[in-house]
């Protein structure tokens, strides 16, 4: 969906009106279908990843997650664009104080830093993105854990049952 640059309330409501109600992030990311889609993308990404090491794996996983989001959310677009920019630019800026500006404001600032691509968002849109991001992250963790378990369990099991599998082949 193409977002209007100023995600004003009336604008977003108009969009929702035209398309019907937007699905809630919790239900959207928890379907088995989404998990399958992401799992496949994750596998693909891991298979074809050139660089090695945990950081590359994480980036591949994040990109796969962002792809699965189909670019509908701001954070997913920011992640997909991240690969071009963040590689060259390092993290120069030091972490600012989090409690400045009042409790809620300070925490909102921290949240802005945590959710990718939400630096200049208003509070309302930020919370919306954060909800989607949290749901997506949960799914990502679930999928990656399953994959890691499968991968680490498989060779041991296969090695243990070598003769059996040989026979089966």
Partner 1 sequence: MGPARSSGVGSGNSGAYTTEIAESLRFEEEIHSIVHPSLDSSPAAGGSFTALLGLPANQAVELLHETGPSEAPSSAAAPSPTGELWRLRLGEHAAGPLHLPLGCSPTFPSNAALVERAARFSVFAAEDSPELSSGGGPSPRLKAEPPDSDSPPPLPIPTEKTQRPAKRKECEKSKAKGPAKKSKSAEENTVAAPKETAAENTDGEKLPYVHVRARRGQATDSHSLAERARREKINARMKLLQELVPGCSKITGTALVLDEIINHVQSLQRQVEFLSMRLAAVNPRIDFGGLDGFLLAECGPLATANGRGGVALDPALWSSHPVTANGARWLPQPQIRHVDVWPTQQSSTAWTRDGAAHPHALLNPGASLFGYDPASSVSLNSNQLKTEL
- The site for partner 1, by CB under 8 A, has a size of 75
Cα gap 8→5, rounded to integer Å: 9
Each residue 75-114 as x (binds partner 1 by CB under 8 A) or -, in order, gives: ----------------------------xx--xx-xx--x
Cα gap 60→90, rounded to integer Å: 18
Q: Which residue stretch of 66-74, 79-87, 88-96, 143-151 sits at the interface with partner 1 (rule: CB under 8 A)?
A: 143-151
Contact 134, 30 (CB under 8 A): no
Query: Looking at beta carbons only, is 87 or 104 nearer to partner 1?
Result: 104
Those residues with Cβ within 8 angstroms of residue 113's Cβ, 6 or more apart along the chain or in another chain: 95, 119
Cα gap 148→150, rounded to integer Å: 5
Q: Which residue stretch of 66-74, 80-88, 89-97, 161-169 sits at the interface with partner 1 (rule: CB under 8 A)?
A: 161-169
Q: Which of 5, 84, 90, 155 binds partner 1 (CB under 8 A)?
A: 155
**Of 4-43, which residues contact partner 1 (CB under 8 A)?**
9-10, 13-14, 17, 24-26, 30-32, 35-36, 39-40, 43
Among candidate residues 80, 97, 84, 69, the one with its CA nearest the CA of residue 1: 69
Query: Looking at beta carbons only, is 55 or 88 nearer to partner 1?
Result: 55
Nearest distance in Å: CB 20, partner 1: 9
Tokens of 43: 């596998």
């Amino acid at each position: 969906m193409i977002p209007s640059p100023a995600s004003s309330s009336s604008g977003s409501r108009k969009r929702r009106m035209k398309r019907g109600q937007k699905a809630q992030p919790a239900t959207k990311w928890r379907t088995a279908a989404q998990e399958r889609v992401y799992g496949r993308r994750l596998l693909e990404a891991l298979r074809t990843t050139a660089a090695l090491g945990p950081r590359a794996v994480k980036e591949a996983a994040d990109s796969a997650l962002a792809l699965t989001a189909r670019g509908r959310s701001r954070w997913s677009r920011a992640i997909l664009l991240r690969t071009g920019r963040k590689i060259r630019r390092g993290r120069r800026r030091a972490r600012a104080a989090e409690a400045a500006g009042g409790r809620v404001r300070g925490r909102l600032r921290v949240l802005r830093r945590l959710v990718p691509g939400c630096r200049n968002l208003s509070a309302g849109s930020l919370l919306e993105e954060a909800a989607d991001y949290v749901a997506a992250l949960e799914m990502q963790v679930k999928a990656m854990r399953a994959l890691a378990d499968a991968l680490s369990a498989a060779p041991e099991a296969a090695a243990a049952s070598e003769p059996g599998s040989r026979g089966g082949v």
